[in-house]
């Protein structure tokens, strides 16, 4: 993620000291951190052209899992992050550099907060990217229009649908 160069020391302290991340690569232009066993986050330090903290608040939220959510909450808040007011009992916060996180416990049942009204009922199902109108027109044309090899010049176009309507 592209962040302000002025945030470099604070980002390093937070991701290394508070979250316990491992610094995989540290440089003047870019730092790479590993959190847990398999999550990597990179920060590219720039002087201009980066999102401000309000811009990050409108971007993607990441979930941060820990075995000790209350202890981690205390460490995060004590560091001085921006705590976000979200109608959910979990800690939502904006880390140095602007990234927004939700802190949850490992193995926590989150189904209360992530009900089917959020779209989980569609997981694993293919989506039809066409609009409802396109879907209906396609269904109509498939049942009403002649096959391309049966169309002859001089006939009215489009032909009338002769199927019975139920």
Q: Is pLDDT above 70 for 95?
A: yes
Give the span between the Cα atoms of 25 and 11, in whole angstroms: 14
Q: Is pLDDT above 60 for 75?
A: yes
Place of tokens 């199902």: 125
CB atoms within 10 A of CB 66: 19
Residue range 117-155, pLDDT digits in tens = 554 554 555 544 444 455 555 665 555 555 555 555 555
Token couple for 144: 């009403």
Place of tokens 């396109």: 134
Q: What is the pTM of this model?
A: 0.58
- The number of helices, as runs of H, and strands, as runs of E, in the chain is 4, 8
Place of tokens 């201009």: 48
């Amino acid at each position: 993620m592209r962040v302000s160069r002025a945030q470099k020391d604070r980002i390093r302290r937070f991701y290394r000291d508070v979250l316990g991340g491992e610094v995989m690569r540290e440089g003047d232009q870019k730092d790479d951190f590993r959190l847990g066993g398999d999550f990597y986050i990179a920060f590219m330090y720039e002087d201009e052209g980066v999102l401000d903290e309000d811009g990050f608040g409108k971007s993607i939220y990441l979930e941060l899992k820990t075995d000790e959510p209350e202890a981690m909450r205390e460490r995060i808040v004590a560091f001085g992050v921006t705590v976000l007011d979200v109608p959910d009992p979990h800690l939502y916060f904006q880390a140095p550099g602007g990234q927004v996180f939700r802190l949850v416990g490992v193995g926590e049942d989150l189904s209360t907060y992530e009900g089917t009204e959020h779209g989980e009922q569609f997981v694993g199902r293919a989506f039809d990217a066409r609009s409802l109108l396109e879907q209906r027109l396609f269904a109509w044309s498939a049942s009403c229009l002649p096959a391309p090899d049966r169309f002859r010049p001089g006939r009215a176009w489009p032909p009338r649908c002769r199927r019975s309507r139920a």
